[in-house]
Every structure is written in structure tokens, then in C-alpha cells.
Structure 1
Amino acid sequence: MEQWLGRLCGCGQSIDGAHQNVRFTLPDPVLELPAAEATPGTWMSHGTARESVMMQVPGAGPFVRVLLPIQLDQGHTLTYGVWLAVSPDDLQRTFATWWEPEYADLRLNGLLANSIHPWDLLYTPATATVRNPNETPYLTTSPDPSLTTVLTTTWPHEKTLR
């Protein structure tokens, strides 16, 4: 697993420091569409996909941005801003509560919509909950053993942040 984080996002950014954030611009199913987020009928919560926290794309579905925290030793953290594929009803419920006090109780079930290497977690079921009402929901649990391992293991800092 040496140096696997340097290959994860393909963003070309140096990953160093105690707390790093990597934000996926689009869900993988949207990237597979010929026009991606420019697909006619696409709805996004903000002006661009990078800024958006919710989107619905014809032919791909509805998505909510969530955080996937990776605990590293030495007290470091790597947090991925990923997309969770959700039901249309959950997207509507999320939109209705995002800026309301009820947001603190938001719980979303869906499928991870970004491939996070080396784990091959695309389409893995996951649950996201709100830890802090001023932050995006966090992936907190999964019935999938691989994602559970990613969420609960402390990964070696020296091998991953080079």
C-alpha cells in the first residue's frame, strides 16, 4: 500500500500536513455520461459541480456530497469529499432540511458514487449522518466489510503521505 494516497484522486496536489481534504468534483456515474454535468436537465445546488453539495443528473441519478474521513496515525486525517447516490425522495428531503435546524438529524442511506482506490468502493452501500450542523454529512457506517475497514482503521501516515 505504499504511496497509495498519491494515486487516489489524480488531482496532482501534494498531500501533506496533518489534515488534508480531497474533493471529487463529480460522481463517477456522471463522468460516464457524454456531457457529464452539462447533460440537459441537470440540477445542481450551486453554480458549479465543484461548489455543489447536491445534484441530480438525468441518466445518472440524484447525489449528495458527503465526507469520507480516513484516519492516519500521528493524529493526521485525510478527508474525501465524495458523492453518495441517494433516492430522489432522499434528495428532496435533504434539500428541504439542508439550511434548517432539522439538518442536524439528517441520515442518508445510499451508495458511494466515487471510486476510492485502492479499495474499489464504488457503489458500496453506506450511511451518512450529520456530525456538526455547520458541515457536510459524514459517512459513518456501512454494511460492507471493506468500507467498514476503511472507516475504522488507522492507516500508516509515513507510507501514505509522501
Structure 2
Amino acid sequence: MAAAAGAERIREVLEPVVAAQGLVLDDVEIHRAGARSTVVVSLDVPEDDDADLDLDRVSDATRAVSDALDAADVVAGHYTLEVGSRGVARPLTQRRHFARAVGRSVRLALADGSVVAGRLTDVEDAVVVVVPVTPGLKGRRPTVGEPRTVALADVRDARVEVDLTGLGPVDDEAGVDAGQES
């Protein structure tokens, strides 16, 4: 429980610092291993920011976060600081996470036990729109369903799925296949 209290105190110190960088403090975790700690700070961009969280922005934020932690002295002893993005494997839990994932393949587990998988096409107020896509078998085209509107309150778990469509050779009627010309 001390790690949770420590993470909350670190969050209090870092939120204004990260906001001044034009970013959002998504999460703070503390991992302890003996006398050493690792402080993991996850950042995101605001929903209305079209720019990506690139290395330059992370680098600038890391310096500001490090300076703030040193000045506030909220982490006891020696620690390692890790600052980065949420990562693709993290669940979508906030509306802004869904907004940033528009255009990507997602898998939503709903409160009623059903699952909706497909391309996230829109986020409107407190609902998301997903176009179900069933992968085609043995080189066939995927089947695209009717758009489905889902209330965010009904989503129990949501994650971006790695989309490997479009990778590999293209098999088309023109005879062009992975760089071979007809």
C-alpha cells in the first residue's frame, strides 16, 4: 500500500509539470527491488492534440519530470526513472484513449459478456463506433459488417489489436505479386 501512496504523491507533483509540457500524465507506477526503486511514468497527448508522442516530446518531458522529482524529493533512496508512452498493450480506459485509437483495430469486451472486434471509426460524446471486420480465410478479403455504436459505460475491457493486414505480398488479378511485374 505504501507504493500506491507513493505513486499518488508522485502523481500530485508531476501532473502540473507534465501539463506544462502539453501532455497528459496517464499513469505512475513504482516497482521496488530491495533498496532500489523504479518509477515508471506513462504519458499521453491530450485528445485535441493531433501530434504524436514522439521521442523529442518524451525527452523534454523526461527532463522536466526528473527535475521535479529531484526538487520535491518524493522518492526515497536511489531510483531509476522510466518515462514513455502508454504502449499498445495497455487497455483503453479513458475517452481520450479511444479518440487516439480511431482508425485502428480494437477488441471491446462488453459488460453483457459479448465482444465487438473491428475498426474503431468514431468517438462521439460517450459512445464509440466500431465497424466489425471478420478476417478472410486463406487469402480471401475480410467481411465488413454494419457499424456498431457502443456506449463507453458498457465497455468492460478495450484494447488495440495489432493489425498485420497489408503486410506481405499482394495477390491481385493484375499479376503483380510482391514486386514481380507482369
TM-score range, shorter chain: under 0.3
Using structure 2 for the length normalisation, give the TM-score. 0.23
Greater Rg by CA: 2
Using structure 1 for the length normalisation, give the TM-score. 0.25
